[in-house]
Structure 1
Amino acid sequence: MSFKEFLERKTQFYSGIDRFRAFRLFEKYKKNLDFKQNVFHIVGTNGKGSTGRFITQILEKLNFKVGHFTSPHIFKFNERFYLNSDISSDELLQDTHNELFSIMKDDLEKLSYFEYSNFLAALMFKECDFVVLEAGLGGEYDSTSLFKRDVSVFTSISLDHTDILGDNLLDIARTKLKTMAKKASIYKEQKKDVLDMAKKIAFLKESELKISNLDPIFKKYIEFYIKKYAVPKFLENNLSLALSSLSFYFSQNELINALQNLDKLKLKARCEKINDNIYVDVGHNEDAARVICDFFRGKKLNLIYNSFLDKNIFSILSILKPIIDKIMVYDYKSERKLATKEIASLAKQLDIPCQDFDYIKEDEQYLVFGSFVLVEQFLKGSL
């Protein structure tokens, strides 16, 4: 069976996390699957992908071989596996799938879509010097947390997936922060309660915790990078977090040399300008809406939007209202129920013009904002 045929039998979406299944299977095959090299484990709500990719690209500039596992993908499953400065080929994925099947046999079928991708990463990256492993939506119950981890990297933590992780910020923060390794770094612009909890857990676990306040010596080099690639503020903060995390292994001079030669972020749909008048961003919650609103402050754009029903759509649109000219609801087929019909009613309450998406006009500005699936469907169907 090919890896593509295997994936067709699985669903990317789920309503709960069954760590016990993943734990049992991991323990059974741990000697074949656990990482031997240094692992950065990226946990949080927003910014995981870009922080992990910054860490990866800096390590590459330091001449290390690095594997970066990220999720979800936009166009194809291969995007989850970044190795040798590019996403995985079908051939490498198929070879890795065959190797995983030879180890797990019939147990392979028991894995969820996400667990399967995690275990593939463990085999695909076994020859790397470093591995950057991004958690899914959770923390302690996420299957990435089964693996050895050397540095925990905590990005911005906020409310999201409340039906699974908890209905308040501290419950969500707790399940993420409990994964803390002996070395950890955390995004500095957190709620005070989250930072206090991180410090308490670090004390109890005897972990060395760094808050991403870099030495001022880095400032001019970061500013040069920001100007060179027109990087938005939230990516600047994620770059700082990446550098803080890497400082467990590398000196200031080594990191500055890598930063001076750092290429543009190789990651799609993070406030990415894909055309003269179109930006796309896979932010899909309130914190992501705030950073996008800050980036476009003083401008007006047509918001191409849709959302899953479990999001706080009213709050997200309220935050984005200062930069919205009109909402254009983008409908598409989805395994999860969309808020296509509800958005117009919420827009009316907020006094924001709203219509169905029709077409792109060259003389107007657009922002596609929402889930990976929304961005994927828009890019496939409208350009």
Structure 2
Amino acid sequence: MNLWEFLESKGQEYAPFDPRRAHRIYAKLAPKLHIENLKVIHLVGTNGKGSTGRFIALGLMQQGYKVLHFSSPHLWHFRERFFTHTGEVCDQTLQQAHEFLQQQDFVNEASYFEYATFLALYIAQGDDFLVLEAGLGGEFDSTSVIDSDLSVFTPIGFDHKDFLGTSIESIAGTKLRVMGKNVIMAPQHYRQCVSIAYEIAKDYHARIFALECIKSQTQYDVQYEKFCLTFGLQNTLDSSFWQGYVDYVSRYHLAEFLAQNLLVASFALQFFGIKIDFLTLPALNLHGRCEWLAPHILLDVGHNQECARALKSVIEQNFKQRRVILVYNTYSDKEVHCILELLKPHIQELWIFPLTHNPRVIARDELLAILEDLGIAYRDFVFEDMTDSKEYVIFGSFSVVAGFLDIWREKLCKIN
């Protein structure tokens, strides 16, 4: 069967769960791959992996390196997960990788996501860098089968509790135990994550740089000196770097959390002796990461309290005291009550976006009960009722973002 039929037969992305399966498969597959000279940047965390990884990839491509950025999930097509220096891989390349894997009968037991990881390893042959984004989480994730040259930990929060644990300590431990010998850690909302990281780094004899939140040239200079000391790098501080960064953030209207992700990416690149040229760095090319579709329409993927806090900050900054219409839906395993409680002061009304044929979506009765409990006015989403005089935030799962963009593009095509 072809790749698409094979993936369809796999069902859910992470089921059935076996924490050692990917390692067993990779032990047999590794000798058949030619990735000895591939530098691997492993991204692990709860939030910000996609944008941080893409900024890293764009910075590498800017310097002429051959790169594969493997990310998940996708909005519309599976090939979105494989972004290279020439753009998204084509279906033919994916099918070729699939045919190679099908020659190894031991690979067939892999789950959907594990199989995607092995496709990425095959496609990355001959590249300079693989920017490898974890899926479910650290030590239980198929992306952990390969040793990394640099581990980058984005903000860690609550998600996938069934797999990772119900406390921030257990979640952080599971993710952080995958660290390699060189570690960059993004600013963390939960400070205990940093303490746990240092404890694990000590056991692993790893070098770790925990980045603090940076909002000024002075703070950057201090952090950069600490970074160089951690990894034994020459301090080549460039006074123009900070201004270039500030101008880029302003030029593309980056939200604060995206600006921080860009800084994390810049440190990851400087670990390899690469500095971003902000004058020619392209805009972030990932949909749904605090994306403005129009001056009155903001689109953002979010699935936990940390995402809601970041969105709350963006709403406060851009809409001031005005309340917005929140177009929303999500999955049943998310912290829906906590998320909506955080956003409630800024919600004029919630429009429920329809998600059909997806067993993970929260039951309508359950969502309505939460809205009633919080006292949030609601109705069903109707695109035709959107007007230029009101402000909208489309927020929730990747399915919501993809579904809204489908409608948005269809309507624009009819207008044009």
TM range (shorter): over 0.9
> What does 1:73-88 align with in structure 2 at a 5 Å threshold?
73-88=74-89
Aligned length: 377
Aligned to 2:305: 286
Q: Is the 8 A contact 2:156 2:172 kept in 1?
A: yes
Q: Is the 8 A contact 2:156 2:188 kept in 1?
A: no
Percentage identity across aligned positions?
Answer: 38
> What does 1:170-319 align with in structure 2 at a 5 Å threshold?
170-213=169-212, 214-215=220-221, 217=239, 218-250=241-273, 254-256=274-276, 258-297=277-316, 298=320, 299-319=322-342
**Mapped partners of 1:176, 1:34: distance in 2:** 27
**Mapped partners of 1:220, 1:137: distance in 2:** 36
Structure 2 residue ranges without an equivalent (≥5): 213-219, 223-238, 411-416
**Mapped partners of 1:35, 1:322: distance in 2:** 51
Q: Supply the RMSD in Å over aligned alpha carbons.
A: 1.7
- Quick check: 1:367 aligned with 2:393? yes
SS at 1:260's partner residue?
coil
- Quick check: 1:25 aligned with 2:51? no
Query: Given the alignment, which residue of 371, 374, 380 partners 1:356?
Result: 380
Q: Deviations over 1:305-345 (max 9, x none)?
A: 11211111110001111221111111222032423222222
Moved over 3 A (4+): 12-17
The one-letter amino acid of 2:275's match is: L
User: CA, structure 1 residues 85+215, in 2 after alignment: closer, same or farther (shift >3 Å)?
Assistant: farther
User: CA, structure 1 residues 34+315, in 2 after alignment: closer, same or farther (shift >3 Å)?
Assistant: farther
Aligned to 1:44: 45
User: CA, structure 1 residues 15+100, in 2 after alignment: closer, same or farther (shift >3 Å)?
Assistant: closer
**Mapped partners of 2:265, 2:130: distance in 1:** 14
User: CA, structure 1 residues 215+261, in 2 after alignment: closer, same or farther (shift >3 Å)?
Assistant: farther
Mean CA deviation greater in 361-370 or 25-34: 25-34
How far residue 21 of structure 1 moved from its aligned partner, in angstroms, is 1.8
**Mapped partners of 1:34, 1:275: distance in 2:** 45
The one-letter amino acid of 1:301's match is: V
Q: Deviations over 1:274-298 (max 9, x none)?
A: 2343222111111001001101112
Aligned to 1:131: 130
- Quick check: 1:4 aligned with 2:30? no
Question: What TM-score comes out, normalization by structure 1 length?
Answer: 0.94
Q: Deviations over 1:183-220 (max 9, x none)?
A: 11001233221111111111221111112354364432
How far residue 259 of structure 1 moved from its aligned partner, in angstroms, is 2.8
Q: Is the 8 A contact 2:355 2:399 kept in 1?
A: no
The one-letter amino acid of 1:163's match is: D
The one-letter amino acid of 1:94's match is: Q
Q: Is the 8 A contact 1:329 1:357 kept in 2?
A: yes
- Quick check: 1:326 aligned with 2:346? no
Aligned to 1:64: 65
Mean CA deviation greater in 360-369 or 80-89: 360-369
SS at 2:275's partner residue?
helix
**Mapped partners of 1:309, 1:273: distance in 2:** 27
User: CA, structure 1 residues 280+113, in 2 after alignment: closer, same or farther (shift >3 Å)?
Assistant: same
Q: Is the 8 A contact 1:329 1:343 kept in 2?
A: no
Mean CA deviation greater in 122-131 or 350-359: 350-359
How far residue 63 of structure 1 moved from its aligned partner, in angstroms, is 1.4
Mean CA deviation greater in 359-368 or 303-312: 359-368
Q: Deviations over 1:158-202 (max 9, x none)?
A: 111111110000100000111111111001233221111111111
